Amino acid sequence: MAEAIILPKLGNTVESAIILAWHVAVGDRVAPGDLLCEIETDKATLEIESTAAGLLLAQLCQAGDEALVMSNIAVVGEPGESVAEFLPENAASAPESDSQPSHIPAPQATPAPNRGSPAISPRALNLARRKGVDYETLSGSGPGGRIIERDIEAALRERVKVTPVAQAMLDSGEFKLGEKGSDDGRVTKADLVPAVPAEPGLTRIPLRGIRKTIAKRMLESLRTTAQLTLNASADARALQTLRRRLKESDASLGLREVNINDLLLFAIARTLPAFPALNALFEDDVITQHEAVHLAMAVDTERGLLVPVIPKADSLSLKQLSAEAKRLAEACRAGKVKPDELTGGSFTVSNLGALGIEQFTPVLNPPQVAILGIGSINLKPMQMGEGVEFIPHIGLSLTINHQVVDGAPAARFLQRLSQNLAQIDLLGF
């Protein structure tokens, strides 16, 4: 018996995903657990496995199409089995009769079309509204020319279908249907061509997937929050010394792989609990302060910026925090991070120090009220007695939502963090 492959729920906030590529062709035999396709949500790239055994009878979405969570994307079964019942347009269809049985009274009220509109049955009207069919242009095949459900279904079959991705490209005005049109009556991105021929050396890249989400969130962040950035620096000698000691430590301790970024995350997680105003969210005029530090960290990937979260980072040892940070960063770069691992942060850290950036203005990750930017380590002249010494310092840039966080507590957090970094060996591992 044929079975549908359903796009599973992908976390609490994911509503749809784009089919990136199919790894199994129609007619291939699959078993439960076999890789069927790759998908991209607005946060991550994931693999979809078969949940049934048999032949792949149909791919209900093509590469580039956007599919809704919990919708059918493929059908698996045996040769000769029908896939009609799994098609979206047939999901709610059933034979319709326009005559009412004598023992069932006719309905007293139905959704009424506009005055002057053709007569249409309730089921046909519901289907037309759900599918966006202009029924006023149709001729009915029911009694007295009444439009019934099969008339709407016929209109749907005649209407050229446009995939969500292709529709978005058409709406952008940068693409149009190619001269060949659509061979199968279904317009996908492969059927589109640039509306204006591209000049040599130019590449047009429509925003989609993760990049589109980043663009939207960055703009909304600046539109909806009052952002203020405070810059400071911290003595980095203890950080550098401890890093050297850990690198040379006994292998059995498992601390050789701890790097400067891990030490920074550890110090931040241990400092934040004393500053609940910064370890907080601001939504719908309500401030929610967190007791635990759910530390989000910005990770650069080929597909854009991802921000995985280390839950309860303040309760982890240095070794545990380092391992989790590395696991999440690798999962992001490999496209294997889970959607739920990208939500729930209470404070974000963005480290650009390895790229030589001394200080910068990090953009808030709403509804969080604070984000810390980490810069590079540079020599800073310091008055020492009667002379001047050049001491390595690390740049710290704290952006706050000034709607709910004042400058003084933010400055005190930077001051405490600088002190903790300067004596990080006393924080305990």
pLDDT for the residue numbered 122 = 73
Q: Are residues 286 and 183 in the same domain?
A: no
The answer to whether position 144 is within a domain reads yes
pLDDT for the residue numbered 6 = 94
- Cα torsion for 321, 326, 329, 331, to the nearest 10°? -110
pLDDT for the residue numbered 125 = 82
Q: Position of tokens 């740049």?
A: 395
pLDDT at 94 over 50: no
The residues, any chain, with a CB within 8 Å of residue 113's CB and separated by 6 or more, are 120, 125, 135, 136
Mean pLDDT of 152-174: 73
Which tens digits make up the pLDDT trace of 257-269? Answer: 999 999 999 999 9
**Domain CATH for 142:** 4.10.320.10
The answer to whether position 355 is within a domain reads yes
The answer to whether position 384 is within a domain reads yes
Q: Are residues 19 and 47 in the same domain?
A: yes
**N residues, the chain:** 429
Mean pLDDT of 311-323: 96
Q: Are residues 194 and 176 in the same domain?
A: yes
Q: Position of tokens 């003084």?
A: 408
Mean pLDDT of 171-184: 67
The 3-state secondary structure of the chain reads CCEEEECCCCCCCCCEEEEEEECCCCCCEECCCCEEEEEECCCCEEEEECCCCEEEEEECCCCCCEEECCCEEEEEECCCCCCHHHCHHHCCCCCCCCCCCCCCCCCCCCCCCCCCCCCECHHHHHHHHHHCCCHHHCCCCCHHHCECHHHHHHHHHHCCEECHHHHHHHHCCCEEECCCCCCCCEECHHHEEECCCCCCCCCCCCCCHHHHHHHHHHHHHHHHCCEEEEEEEEECHHHHHHHHHHHCCCHHHCCCCCCHHHHHHHHHHHHHHHCCCCCEEEECCEEEECCCCCEEECEEECCEEECCEECCHHHCCHHHHHHHHHHHHHHHHHCCCCHHHHCCCCEEEEECHHHCCCCCCCCCCCCECEEEEEEEEEEEEEEECCEEEEEEEEEEEEEEECCCCCHHHHHHHHHHHHHHHHCHHHCCC
pLDDT at 172 over 80: no
Q: Are residues 150 and 167 in the same domain?
A: no
pLDDT for the residue numbered 167 = 73
**pLDDT tier, 89 (very low <50, low <70, confident <90, very high otherwise):** low
Q: Are residues 41 and 146 in the same domain?
A: no
**7: which 2 tokens?**
């796009």
Measured distance CA(419)–CA(235) in Å, rounded: 8
With beta carbons less than 8 A apart as the criterion, state whether 365 and 208 touch. no
**Domain CATH for 35:** 2.40.50.100
**pLDDT tier, 156 (very low <50, low <70, confident <90, very high otherwise):** confident
Question: CB 216: neighbour CB atoms within 10 A?
Answer: 12
With beta carbons less than 8 A apart as the criterion, state whether 363 and 221 touch. yes
End residue of a domain, out of 206, 236, 266 = 206
Domain total for the chain?
4
Q: Are residues 307 and 292 in the same domain?
A: yes
The answer to whether position 313 is within a domain reads yes
Q: Are residues 74 and 185 in the same domain?
A: no
Q: Mean pLDDT over all residues of the chain?
A: 85
- In this predicted structure, which of 42-56, 85-99, 138-152, 379-393 has the lowest mean pLDDT? 85-99
Q: Are residues 28 and 80 in the same domain?
A: yes
Q: What is the pTM of this model?
A: 0.66
The residues, any chain, with a CB within 8 Å of residue 255's CB and separated by 6 or more, are 246, 249, 318, 319, 322, 429
pLDDT for the residue numbered 255 = 92
With beta carbons less than 8 A apart as the criterion, state whether 334 and 38 touch. no
Which tens digits make up the pLDDT trace of 209-246? Answer: 778 888 888 999 999 999 999 999 999 999 999 999 99
Q: Which of 43, 14, 8 is nearest to 309 (CA)?
A: 43
Q: Are residues 83 and 138 in the same domain?
A: no
Measured distance CA(7)–CA(10) in Å, rounded: 8
The answer to whether position 262 is within a domain reads yes
Q: Are residues 302 and 376 in the same domain?
A: yes
Pairing of strands 387-401, 72-77: unpaired
Q: Are residues 358 and 267 in the same domain?
A: yes
Q: Position of tokens 């706050």?
A: 400
The answer to whether position 31 is within a domain reads yes
Question: CB 8: neighbour CB atoms within 10 A?
Answer: 15
The answer to whether position 113 is within a domain reads no
Which tens digits make up the pLDDT trace of 266-285? Answer: 999 999 999 999 999 999 99
**Domain CATH for 400:** 3.30.559.10
The answer to whether position 96 is within a domain reads no
What is the residue range of 396's domain? 210-426
Q: Are residues 376 and 396 in the same domain?
A: yes
